[in-house]
Structure 1
Amino acid sequence: MKNFKSIALALVAFVSFATTAQTKKVDAAKSTINWVGKKVTGAHEGTIAIKEGNLVFKGKKVVNGNFIVDMTSINTTDLSGKGKTNLDGHLKSDDFFGVEKFPTATLVFKTIGEKGNGVYAVTADLTIKGITHPIKFELTVAGNTAATTLKVDRTKYDIKYGSGSFFSDLGDKTISDEFELTVKLAF
């Protein structure tokens, strides 16, 4: 009987250990976010830094996540000199991300569905400029890395500058409402 109790106790301890969530902190220095914004006459691209973030696992499965992005780090990589300085400044201004008032953006996972082979369907709340909307994307996890691509409709976050959805006479100055983020995380 004593042996049975020991086995039962060991089994309970093992099950508890196997189902306990483990939070893995994202290594901000090794993680990247690349952005692309398009306009009628071309596109611009750059980077933005992750301030901090976590993925939560139960066993090998992702069950949660949250991230803070440093909006003050917006950096254009396809320009140099005065053009780069001007675009970086404009993106940080109130016409776009208003980083003085809103220095961070956040992404908080709400639901996660496992699709198999380390791929997850994620619905998250994205907050930019203090405005929150749901966003859906696929997250691929392999080892100590994760990657995704998100398409964000900037007009949902009161970023209407140059939007053909709000201004009809922009011609070749029209900027796409969507921008794309390619995210690679290391943890």
Structure 2
Amino acid sequence: MKKVFLSLALVASVLTACKSEKKEKVEAKEAVKVEVVADLNNVDVASSVITWKGTKPGGAHNGTIMLKDGSLNLEAGKLVGGSFTIDMSSMKNEDLDAEGGAKLVGHLSAPDFFDVATYSNSKFVITNVEEVEAKLAVTGNLTIKDVTKSITIPAMLMTEGNITTFKSEKFNVDRADFNVKYASKKFFDNLKDKFIDDMIELSFEVKTKA
């Protein structure tokens, strides 16, 4: 009987662990109207980067995407607004060899995924910033392909010398919310183990020019 209880306890702990590892996504809501703000063009695109990670049964891939341009609007050292344009054609893979990485990026760029030829840029426009427990809760309109949704992400702001860094924590976006359909169980049946997870893990580090 003691062994039975121990076995049940082990199963319960495993199930609890699996549940806790489930990816939580940021909620995608209707886009928020935002006043036009000055385009400061003060983001250093060479030192700013977005990281991504996608998963599927039995594996994962990760990489980077660069920015095309951007502005961070600061008042008295605090973030009050801004935006940055994401250059989808700069997408790179970091976990495969050159041939495998090129093949993967080619697939991600194809019409049945991000359709980079048609939608070469994605964009994030800040609509609200709140301080929550010494961190920032940043709300903004995220545009991927032809869909714009409002999301709120955890982030922080740091300034050293003349350079300010706007850095997010890792957050998960549901690609199905942005009409990215390939191998998604939300759009296709009978995929079995050939599906790709809808959750894409993202993070970014955006730095101002010196």
TM-score scaled by structure 2? Answer: 0.74
- Render the CA deviation track for 1:83-111: whole Å, top value 9, x for unaligned: 22211110010111111111000100111
**Which of 122, 128, 132 is the aligned partner of 2:148?**
132
Cα distance, 1:177 vs. partner?
A: 0.6
CA distance in structure 1 between the aligned counterparts of 2:192 and 2:98, rounded to whole angstroms: 27
Matched, 1:141 2:141: no
Alignment gaps of 5+ in structure 1: 1-20
**Which of 98, 103, 106 is the aligned partner of 2:123?**
106
CA distance in structure 2 between the aligned counterparts of 1:184 and 1:70, rounded to whole angstroms: 15
Report the CA distance shift for 1:132/1:22 in structure 2 as closer, same or farther (over 3 A).
closer
Matched, 1:184 2:201: no
- Render the CA deviation track for 1:90-144: whole Å, top value 9, x for unaligned: 0010111111111000100111112254x21111111111211111101200112
- Render the CA deviation track for 1:46-77: whole Å, top value 9, x for unaligned: 11111111111110111101010000111111
Cα RMSD (Å) of the superposition?
Answer: 1.8
Cα distance, 1:81 vs. partner?
A: 3.6
User: Could you say which residue in structure 1 is the equivalent of 2:183?
Assistant: 162
SS at match of 1:161: coil
Identity %: 38
User: Could you say which residue in structure 2 is the equivalent of 1:27?
Assistant: 44
Report the CA distance shift for 1:164/1:96 in structure 2 as closer, same or farther (over 3 A).
same
User: Could you say which residue in structure 2 is the equivalent of 1:7?
Assistant: none
Matched, 1:121 2:121: no
Matched, 1:171 2:192: yes
Matched, 1:53 2:70: yes
SS at match of 2:111: coil
Q: Would the aligned equivalents of 1:23 and 1:57 in 2 still touch at CA under 8 Å?
A: no
CA distance in structure 2 between the aligned counterparts of 1:131 and 1:146, rounded to whole angstroms: 24
Greater CA drift, 56-65 or 148-157: 148-157
- Amino acid corresponding to residue 74 of structure 1 in structure 2: M
- Amino acid corresponding to residue 103 of structure 2 in structure 1: N
- Amino acid corresponding to residue 120 of structure 1 in structure 2: L
- Amino acid corresponding to residue 182 of structure 1 in structure 2: S
SS at match of 1:106: strand
Report the CA distance shift for 1:23/1:62 in structure 2 as closer, same or farther (over 3 A).
farther
User: Could you say which residue in structure 1 is the equivalent of 2:172?
Assistant: 151
Q: Would the aligned equivalents of 2:55 and 2:196 in 1 still touch at CA under 8 Å?
A: yes
- Amino acid corresponding to residue 147 of structure 2 in structure 1: I
Q: State the number of aligned residues.
A: 166
User: Could you say which residue in structure 1 is the equivalent of 2:4?
Assistant: none
